[in-house]
Structure 1
Amino acid sequence: MPFSSRVATFVTLTFSVLALVAQSSPGLAADLPAVPAVSTAIQLSLPSQVPAMTPAAPSAEDAVVTAEQVEEQVAYPTLAAAVADQSIRSDADQDLRCLAGAIYFESRGEPLTGQLAVAEVILNRTRSRRFGGSVCDVVTQKGQFSFVRGGKLPDAPSNDDFRTAMAVAKVAMKEAWESNAADALYFNHRRVGHANGTRIASIGNHIFYR
């Protein structure tokens, strides 16, 4: 029983006892106050309407999605679609330009899968840390790529083939498409023949191995 109900019951019983005593002693009845009616009902005051809960709006930081993040989230149906979807900026970082230069000078005219495989070799070398600490270090390493002269890359041309190389480089660096030569560390032209190592793939005019 709630506490308030117990109090009300106690008060009622007390006055009832006093009333009985007064009836048995008429002289005492005149001195007793009238017994008030005690209500044990408890009324609860509730609001007629409960305000609806409105979800908090996302913060400005959560709502901002950059173009680069959107590109990384896309699942492409083909490698050609992935390459075509890349935006090429004039202020691309140096590693991207070095990778694009290697793709262009080593594999322009090759199928996109072959160009991507060349990019994969360079990125695998960079990750291994055995050939240099950055993409540009790997590309300009002495004796590795014949197009490098005095540790420098030739000037990048302004043509469609180089723009394609830039797009392939972006696809490779973002891992937007899986290469057929994912584990390769070396490649050479078919006319040179297969060097020592485990053959990974043969794409276009190149053989890839590790």
Structure 2
Amino acid sequence: MTVMKAIFAAVSAASICVAATSAAANELLATRLGAILGQEREALSVVPASRMNILTSLPPAQERGLTTRSGIVYDREFLAAQPAPDGGENWQCLAEALYFEARGETVRGMFAVGEVILNRVDSDVYPDTLCKVINQGTGRRYACQFTYTCDGKPETIAEPRSWERVGKVARILIDGAPRALTGGATHYHTKAVNPSWAQRFPRTAEIGVHYFYRQPVRTASN
């Protein structure tokens, strides 16, 4: 028993020593960190506020590759600064297509989907108005061009903020925004599917959750 007591006493003493050493080390570390932070605060205090704003702000949109020569910036801040959108039937059709097809995409992704629809309007292969392109094949379940128009689900606008956002994208595109994102694409699909036509069409871009493709050019031999 005497030996065991001696062992326990030695262990206890060692534990107390380790704890005391650890506490002292922590206190020393805290003191040094405090001194370092104090020096940093002192150094930053002499930096002018204007310079601090520059150092702590994001680079301009141009430097982040989000803007185009026309002044369009592919981010939500740019869209938020645009006036409330409105328009006629074709604007309504394009806004609805963007809402149901791309409202969860990035701003760049929304513009890209819109480009595809406008590229189809310009093509001789498709109808010549936005509404006709978007509703092509509607009425035949899952045989339409844009799934939301023939999936049997009600087309309910339930997210006002998203609706305003896609409406602004639609307005900008209809007003003549350059289509420089998709390389003239006329088709797209989400990365979750692999349609058979995607094996035959040249892929032109990958933006967000979508792949984009251009309709192959037909030749006399085709």
1:76 aligns to 2:71 (yes or no): yes
Structure 1: how far apart are the matches of 2:151 and 2:208?
A: 29
Structure 2: how far apart are the matches of 1:123 and 1:107?
A: 15
Kept in 2, the 8 Å contact 1:171–1:177? The answer is no
CA-based RMSD: 2.7
What are the superposed Cα offsets for residues 140-181 of structure 1, whole Å, 9 maximum, x if unpaired?
001111111499x82544610011000111121223354411
Structure 2: how far apart are the matches of 1:150 and 1:114?
A: 22
- Opposite residue 206 of structure 1, the aligned amino acid is H
1:207 aligns to 2:211 (yes or no): yes
Kept in 1, the 8 Å contact 2:183–2:205? The answer is no
- Opposite residue 87 of structure 1, the aligned amino acid is P
Which residue is 2:161 aligned to?
160
1:111 aligns to 2:106 (yes or no): yes
Structure 2: which 5+ residue stretches go unaligned? 1-68, 138-143, 215-222
Kept in 2, the 8 Å contact 1:180–1:201? The answer is yes
Question: As a proportion of its length, which structure holds more helix?
Answer: 2
Distance 1:89 1:106, change over 3 A: closer
Q: Which of the numbers 131, 137, 153 marks the counterpart of 1:136? A: 131
- TM alignment of 1:154-193, pairs within 5 A: 154-157=155-158, 159-193=160-194
After TM superposition, the score normalised by the length of structure 1 is 0.57
Which residue is 2:55 aligned to?
none
Structure 2: how far apart are the matches of 1:145 and 1:123?
A: 14
Which residue is 1:67 aligned to?
none
After TM superposition, the score normalised by the length of structure 2 is 0.54
Structure 2: how far apart are the matches of 1:99 and 1:114?
A: 14
Aligned positions, number: 136
